[in-house]
Amino acid sequence: MSRLAAPAVVTVVGAGTMGTGIAQVAALAGHPVLLLDAAPERARAGVAAVRRSLDRLVERGRLGVADARAAHGRVRAVDSLAAVGDSALVVEAVAESLDAKRTLFAALEDVVAPDTVLATNTSSLSVTDIAAGLHRPGRCAGLHFFNPAPVMRLVEVVAGDRTDPAVTAEIADLVTAWGKTPVHVRTSPGFIVNRVARPFYGEAMRLLEHGVDPATVDAVLRECGGFPLGPLELTDLIGQDVNLATTRSVWEQTGRDPRFEPAPVQVELVASGHLGRKTGRGFYEGSGSSEGAGPSARASTARRGPTRPAAAEAPSSVAPSRVRVRGDWGPWAPLWDRVRTAGVVVEEGPTSGAPVAELDGGLLVPTRGRTATDCAESDGDPVVVLDLAGDAATTRRWAVAACDGCPPAALDRAVGLLQATGAAVTVLPDVPGLLVARTVALLVDEACDVVGRGVASASDVDTAMRLGAGYPRGPLEWGERIGPHRVAALLDALAPTNARYRVSPTLRAAVRDGRSLREL
């Protein structure tokens, strides 16, 4: 049996939301839990908070009375480091400060056993740097829970440069026994989730610069992209300051890589004190808070919050009676089955070459990273460009953009065709890559880069983004469904507009060698 298995003593240092959540998880798993905080009254309040949370689970029928009472008795507050000497595992959940974490671990080394595991719940700091001052840095690892810890299944198990592999294996087994899903990560800026997720927020914020309102941006990514929440409503729930701090941390640690540069609109929000729900104003007007919450808790909070403003939606148009389709439509292909079901005649042309749908007086084409205006200049016809959908067979919203000078009738025919599928249609400004396509392409590319740098395996990256960020599928699986060559080509088309769209060497090599992204 592992030395960390219950009933080994677990100490949690830091009695905030994360610390009390971790304490609850450990207590329910059968561990005696010591809760320590620099302010003793906070530790006592934290124990009370754990017990209230357990009681709520009983009231909701999710936990038996006997199990709750047993867990109640396992958690107690202590008021000094001297009281935690018998701990097999210490998890720190103190302020996100390198100095604070180093100071704490140095003091712990004086009181705990030589084989006690020291784990940090940091979300962005280097585990190597945190362990640098320890006499035994091999016993220090990252144990990054997601908020709320009792609910969120994912835990990033992070190895520093000197972490003993046996330690990460042992704590991964431990969190599995706690009912969590561990993923193994080598310490790096943002680990997996907080690094790969950056484009989800950044691309949405940059579309605001083109005059699109927040509700429309969120609706497109939620209803067309398939994400559980839109990025702007999500940052309001997390806290604009918290989200910006994570972005800045990753940006600084990567040498100010343009892929992670903070969006000016978010910088301005934070400078103005508009931090989201907790201040009553962010991208939206509203009240309440779910700072740091995971996707399931965030979605619940969003449902309880203010009514979402209406997204921009094209007026109802009449679908054309027929459409001629040619080329390889790839992930967009299910559109045509839906159109046929609606009674539109779909004439199929050659399946090779660039995908095009010929409507009376214009063309509908899936985005390849060029503007509709650029496409019209090369094709010689009015062009409407179609954004990527998370699942073209079921999407509840389509997004399009029309070329400059597009006749209203040509746009109406394209809109009517898409509305025939039973979905809403949003007309976006004519920006290259539109919104879902360029966001997903960047997520896929960043996931490839994380794997290529040896930060995590392909399967762990996909697992982390599904469980930690709530994505409908892992980005590498998504990239396979779209086609790695399409992802790279779209980014290549976007690259002249901004350096953040460069293709990672790992994605480039996968396309060249015909390798599956899920087997990188």
pLDDT at 205 exceeding the cut of 90: yes
C-alpha closest to that of 456 among 148, 195, 269, 279: 195
State how far the Cα of 187 lies from the Cα of 192, in Å rounded to an integer: 9
45, 15 Cβ separation under 8 angstroms: yes
Residues 298-340 pLDDT 10s: 544 444 445 678 999 999 999 999 999 999 999 999 999 999 9
Catalytic residue among 53, 87, 121, 123: 123
248, 122 Cβ separation under 8 angstroms: no
Q: Under 8 Å CB-to-CB from 92, ≥6 apart: which residues?
A: 12, 13, 14, 101, 104, 105, 118, 119, 120, 121
304, 288 Cβ separation under 8 angstroms: yes
Q: What is the mean pLDDT of residues 38-42?
A: 95
pLDDT at 353 (0 to 100): 86
pLDDT at 306 (0 to 100): 55
41, 77 Cβ separation under 8 angstroms: no
387, 437 Cβ separation under 8 angstroms: yes
Catalytic residue among 87, 194, 249, 290: 194
State how far the Cα of 391 lies from the Cα of 240, in Å rounded to an integer: 30
Q: What is the mean pLDDT of residues 482-511?
A: 97
pTM for this prediction: 0.93
| Residue 348 a catalytic site member | no
Catalytic residue among 53, 87, 126, 144: 144
pLDDT at 293 exceeding the cut of 90: no
Q: Tell the residue number behind the tokens 């190895």, with chain if given.
A: 159
40 or 299, greater pLDDT: 40
DSSP per-residue codes, 301-339? HHHHSSPPPPPP-PPP-PPPSEEEEES--GGGTHHHHHH
Q: What is the mean pLDDT of residues 392-399?
A: 98
pLDDT at 291 (0 to 100): 38
- State which amino acid sits at residue 13: V
The mean-pLDDT minimum among 230-234, 302-306, 469-473 falls in 302-306
Band of pLDDT at residue 342, cut at 50, 70 and 90: very high
| Residue 144 a catalytic site member | yes
User: Domains of the chain, with CATH numbers?
Assistant: 10-187 (3.40.50.720), 211-304 (1.10.1040.50), 322-427 (3.30.750.190)
Average pLDDT of the chain is: 94
pLDDT at 366 (0 to 100): 98
